[in-house]
Structure 1
Amino acid sequence: MSSRADSTSPPPYSFESSSFPPPPPRVGEIARNWDFQAKFEAAEERVRIAVLETITAWKAPRPCDTWEFVPRVEIQDTYDAAPLDLKRALEFLVDCRYTTYLNNDLDRRTHEYFHRLGSIEHTGSSRWPAQSPAAFYQDFMAAHEPVQKSVLTTFGLWKYNRGGEYTKPAPDEVLQAYRTSPPELKVLLNWVLDIGSIVPVQDLRDVAQHEGTMRKYIEDSIRVKNQVQYPI
């Protein structure tokens, strides 16, 4: 296996926890960025398994009887070639030491939402603030189509319930529509996007109801997935 002394080679994989990043490149070398592979190595084994399973689950056709996993030494190359939604999922797993694999971007949003919510509930702090218009629009454009539709429908329901005409902004109008939205609507829009809801919401009562249902789903999902983790 390649030596860690060469910054163009990946850090060697170990089943033991390791936190040694590759050294800086020597003069004249073309350096590779091994940041994700180094974080993967430093994670506990259950997190590493979740990373490998997530990569496979993201790409595997449904249904799939057998899963094939990327070699551990190829984690950095796999991360570099991954689409943005998969990169976000992998970063969430290693950064938050999450031990349950994720199937897709909807799954990642829901798991990450409740992970963040659990941290907030534990500390007793308030929920995270609404995203800036630019950040919201970027996240909206990265979301899967069912979530985007739910966001757009939430815009329309808000207007209709306040005596206006039921109209939804086009995707390219979301930035301006969000920028001019009242704070209460921004809370709803951020919730739909953060949790990956495919169901639009009309008010905070809807949020509480749907959140309760999705919390039960995520708890069941974690229990089932963790029971069938593959020993890789």
Structure 2
Amino acid sequence: MSSRADSTSPPPYSFEPSSFPPPPPRAGDVARNWSFQAKFEAAKEPVRQAILDTITAWTFSETSGESWDFIPRQDVQDAYDAAAVDLRKALDFIIENKYAVYLRDDMDRRRHEYFHRMDGQESSPRVLPSPQAFADDFDTAHVEVQIAVLRTFALWKSSRGGKHVRPLHEHVRGEYERAPIELKTLLEWVLASGSVNPVRHSRDVRNFEKLEKSHLQRSIMIRTSVQPFL
């Protein structure tokens, strides 16, 4: 990383949770946006460690284990700015929810975020996404999750007397828009939870949720006690 000064320097790092505003720009300089770095500095140490471990684990996964590079803490904003959409969503989720558990990939992020939201808002009604929002989220999902969504379309229809046909990727928006509420709810669950299992009934969702939550709780216990992948 290149050296920085004044407006191009990140907020100073501290092991104590506190907030550091970005330094003022010098004349003629364009101030950088240090908002994520500032949130990082203001977080408690377990959350900051989750951010660093997530960036490392995500990169390690994307490079098929070819590199294991821990980034310097002062370079968090650079990593955030350069992150793909899925990693940025994971980092935003961790920092905004003070989530002290690292995430490995987009499927992992969806699963953790889904159950975190469920635990905090069990009595709140679920709001189904618009067709465009669903299609956009589908496009960024892991291929295994996309397949589960497409299989859910087919299973739901075939279990009700229709043909077992998966829609084409480019037809997902229209198929979702025309789907009845029951099917929309199942599709949204598969996508939001990062499930690789297609579902055809609400009871399937309940069964998978019990299994996934149990697995997630065990995973969280392990991750909060050891370093990533060790």
**TM-score with structure 1 setting the length:** 0.90
CA RMSD in angstroms comes to 2.1
Distance in 2 between residues matched to 1:117 and 1:133, nearest whole Å: 22
Deviations 1:9-30 (A, max 9, x none): 2111111112233256466321
Aligned partner of 2:49: which letter? Answer: I
Distance in 2 between residues matched to 1:229 and 1:110, nearest whole Å: 20
Distance in 2 between residues matched to 1:182 and 1:65, nearest whole Å: 45
Pick aligned residue for 1:212 from 210, 217, 220 = 210
Distance in 1 between residues matched to 2:178 and 2:19, nearest whole Å: 46
Does the 8 Å contact 1:11/1:22 carry over to 2? yes
Aligned partner of 1:7: which letter? Answer: S
Provide the identity percentage.
Answer: 52
CA gap 1:177/1:24 in 2 versus in 1, 3 angstroms? farther
CA gap 1:228/1:108 in 2 versus in 1, 3 angstroms? same
- The residue that corresponds to 2:110 in the other structure is 109
Structure 1 window deviating more from structure 2 (14-23 vs 176-185): it is 14-23
Deviations 1:47-67 (A, max 9, x none): 000111111111225986995
Give runs of aligned pairs for residues 68-79 of structure 1, distance below 5 A: 68-79=69-80
Does the 8 Å contact 2:190/2:198 carry over to 1? yes
Distance in 2 between residues matched to 1:168 and 1:191, nearest whole Å: 18
Does the 8 Å contact 1:2/1:12 carry over to 2? no
Aligned partner of 2:92: which letter? Answer: E
Aligned partner of 2:121: which letter? Answer: I
CA gap 1:63/1:30 in 2 versus in 1, 3 angstroms? closer
- The residue that corresponds to 2:56 in the other structure is 56
1:100 aligned to 2:131? no
Report how many residues are paired. 225
Deviations 1:171-201 (A, max 9, x none): 1111111111111111000000010000100
- The residue that corresponds to 2:11 in the other structure is 11
CA gap 1:21/1:167 in 2 versus in 1, 3 angstroms? same
1:162 aligned to 2:186? no
Distance in 1 between residues matched to 2:172 and 2:25, nearest whole Å: 44
Give runs of aligned pairs for residues 195-210 of structure 1, distance below 5 A: 195-210=193-208
Deviations 1:125-171 (A, max 9, x none): 22421111111111100000000000011011111111111111111
Aligned partner of 1:94: which letter? Answer: I
Please give the secondary structure, in 2, of the residue aligned with 1:60. helix
Question: Residue 90 of structure 1: CA displacement?
Answer: 0.7
Does the 8 Å contact 1:137/1:174 carry over to 2? yes
1:143 aligned to 2:141? yes
Distance in 1 between residues matched to 2:55 and 2:20, nearest whole Å: 24
Deviations 1:102-122 (A, max 9, x none): 11111111011110001013x
Listed as ranges, the gaps of 5+ residues in structure 1 are none
1:185 aligned to 2:186? no
Distance in 2 between residues matched to 1:2 and 1:107, nearest whole Å: 34
Listed as ranges, the gaps of 5+ residues in structure 2 are none
Does the 8 Å contact 2:60/2:67 carry over to 1? no
Distance in 2 between residues matched to 1:84 and 1:48, nearest whole Å: 20
Distance in 1 between residues matched to 2:151 and 2:166, nearest whole Å: 6
Does the 8 Å contact 1:117/1:127 carry over to 2? no
